[in-house]
Structures are given as structure tokens and as C-alpha cells.
Amino acid sequence: MGEQPVSTAAGAPASGRVAVVGSANLDVVVDVPRHPRGGETILGGDLRRSPGGKGANQAVAAARAGGADTVLVGALGPDDGAEVLLRSLTGAGVRTDGVRRVAAATGTALITVSPDGENAIVVAPGANARVVVDEPARELVAAADVVLAQLEVPLDVVVAAARARRPGVPFVLNAAPSRELPAPVWQDVDVLVVNEHEAADLAGPDGATQPERAPSELARLLLARVPAVVVTLGGDGALVARRGHDDVRVPGVRVDVVDTTGAGDTFCGVLAAELARGADLAEAARVATVAGALAVTRHGAQDAVPGRAEVLTRRSRVPG
């Protein structure tokens, strides 16, 4: 298809460096027969506590499933939730020298998971609201071959992360959870990763009034603002759209779904890792789709991230 790699910094190593700037949460999870309606109480299963947060999940995915040299810029509190997260991050090989300890509770996510694996999540940001891109963090970001951020930290942090990267280094934004983006955020994005709902939200009135619009139409609307868009489609794979190129449809990988929590994060972390080693965006999305599919076959967010060997073995069996 003649696609060129998303521009990576000259001399990007075979196993590239990824800087993730974002949130870390302790996930407090209950399996439920169905998600409760407003005002309703339902009984669920046993409580599980596990490492999560979109930033930390993506960092673990970039390191473990993507094989990248990965650093997280984030913030944790003085509590035992922070210890759960640090164990998970270091266990996956993520460098935590960019993680500040602050006087606020570690971010916490309250999650219910229904029998079909779908989740509903409420996040109490806590320490994530105190993430900063200070001078030491800027140096970590400036050393990366790809910079990846999400929207569970303040928007000025997202802008500062993008601006701390070296010239030519791609800034990948996973616009989750969905929120309105001011112009300075749009300006710096090289690759926007969104699911269909986020794509419709961000595509503005044209997208929002027609949420049933095809992903390729939503992507075209978003390409007016950013040079490349990846729309994740759950079990149906992903769509890669770039200005001046035909869209590439990445097929889904059939698996038994146990828990979808963090699958999108696994996708984003692996996408960034693949870009950091110089893959083109379509191939990066193919590997990321495989990794995201493997992640939904297990419980949890970081706990469900597959190893690199498993991802590559499964990728080799997927055509394209």
C-alpha cells in the first residue's frame, strides 16, 4: 500500500523508546450480573484491586507487549495503592523515575464488569490531577522516539508533553476519556487514537449528530485537524486513516471475551512501541490489534497485558 512510516526521529533504535505521560489508578473492580441503573443497588461478586489507569496501562503495554524501553511520567500518592502500581510498572520493566509522589490519594477507578466483559468506570483522579511536566520530566520526554498521552491528566500537561518532544518525534494522543480539546492540543497531535464514540464526540457537530456515521467518515472529519487517525473498533479491529492515503482496515482477531478493561490501552501502548521501532502506522495497528485482543481474554487492565512473544506468535498467524 506504499505507506511511509509516521516520521520517527532520525536514528530511532530497533527497540525504540516510548515516553508515556498520564494517569495511574488503583482499579477497584466488581463483577456484576448487569450494570446498575441510576438509583439502583445490585449485588456483585468479590472485590478485586488491581493496577490500572490509562497512562500506566499504556506504559505497561508498551514495555511488556511492545518490547519498548518505556518511561512513565505521572504521579502517585503516599498510600498502598501506589505500591500496587509501582510493583506492576517495575515488574513490566517500565522506568518510574518520572513518577512523582505527591500529597494526594493515588487515583482510583471504580469499575463494574458485566458477564459479556463490558465495563463501566468512574475515576477519582486524586494524584493524577497533580501530574506536571517539570524539567526532569521534560528530559525524559525529550529522550523518547514516541510520546504517548491520554486525557486523564490536566490538558496543560498533555500540551507540555507534546512540546517537550524532540523535533520529528511523533506525539500520539489517545483522546480518552472523551472531552473537548482546545486548539493547542489539536496542533501538536501527529496520531489521534479514538474509539467510535470518542471519534463522534471529537468530530464536532457533524459527527455528534450522526453517531451511526461510518468510522471512515468520522476519520475523514478528524483528518481536517490531525494528520493521522486510528479508530479502534473493539472486536472488529481498527481503521487507519492518513491524509493523502487510502484508509487501511485492520481486521479484528476472534477471541473469547472475559474483560475489556484496558484493552484500548494495550492497543495504544503497543501502537506506540511499534512506531518507536520504525513500523508504519498500519503495521503498528495490526500488531496493536492482536495485543488488544489477547488482553480481553483475561481479567484486569495491566494484569491482562500479554507478553511480547505471545503477541508476535499470534500476529504471525493473522494475514495482512
Instruction: Give the footprint of ligand RIB on this chain (CB under 6 A).
Output: 23, 25, 27, 52-54, 57, 109, 121, 123, 152, 261-262, 264-265, 301
Q: Which is nearer to ligand RIB, 223 or 288 (CB)?
A: 288
Taking the C-alpha atoms of residue 249 and residue 237, their distance in angstroms, rounded to an integer, is 8
Residue whose C-beta lies closest to ligand RIB: 52
Q: Which is nearer to ligand RIB, 16 or 262 (CB)?
A: 262
Q: Which is nearer to ligand RIB, 118 or 206 (CB)?
A: 118
CB 94, min distance to ligand RIB, A: 15
From 243, 237, 225, select the one nearest 3 (Cα to Cα). Answer: 243
Q: Which is nearer to ligand RIB, 137 or 301 (CB)?
A: 301
Q: Which residues face 7 on adjacent strands? A: none
Report whether 108 contacts 123 (CB < 8 A): yes
- CA distances (Å), origin 39, targets 35, 115, 124: 12, 21, 20
Q: Which is nearer to ligand RIB, 262 or 269 (CB)?
A: 262
CB 65, min distance to ligand RIB, A: 15
CB 123, min distance to ligand RIB, A: 5
Q: Which is nearer to ligand RIB, 96 or 106 (CB)?
A: 106
Which residue of the set 27, 145, 201, 265 is catalytic?
A: 265
DSSP of the chain = --PPPPP--TT--SS-EEEEE---EEEEEEE-SSPPPTT-------EEEEEE-HHHHHHHIIIIIT--EEEEEEEE-SSHHHHHHHHHHHHTT-EEEEEEE-SSPPEEEEEEE-TTS-EEEEEE-GGGGG----HHHHHHHHT-SEEEE-SSS-HHHHHHHHHTSPTT--EEEE--S-----HHHHHH-SEEEEEHHHHHHHT-HHHHT-TTS-HHHHHHHHTTTSSEEEEE-GGG-EEEEETTS--EEEPP-----S--TTHHHHHHHHHHHHHHTT--HHHHHHHHHHHHHHHTTSSSSGGGPPPHHHHHHHHHTS--
CB 128, min distance to ligand RIB, A: 9
Q: Which is nearer to ligand RIB, 265 or 283 (CB)?
A: 265
236 is a catalytic site residue? no
CB 12, min distance to ligand RIB, A: 27
CB 3, min distance to ligand RIB, A: 28
CB 24, min distance to ligand RIB, A: 8
CB-based burial label for 301 (10 Å; 0-12, 13-18, 19+): buried
Q: Which residues face 48 on adjacent strands? A: 29
Catalytic residues: 265
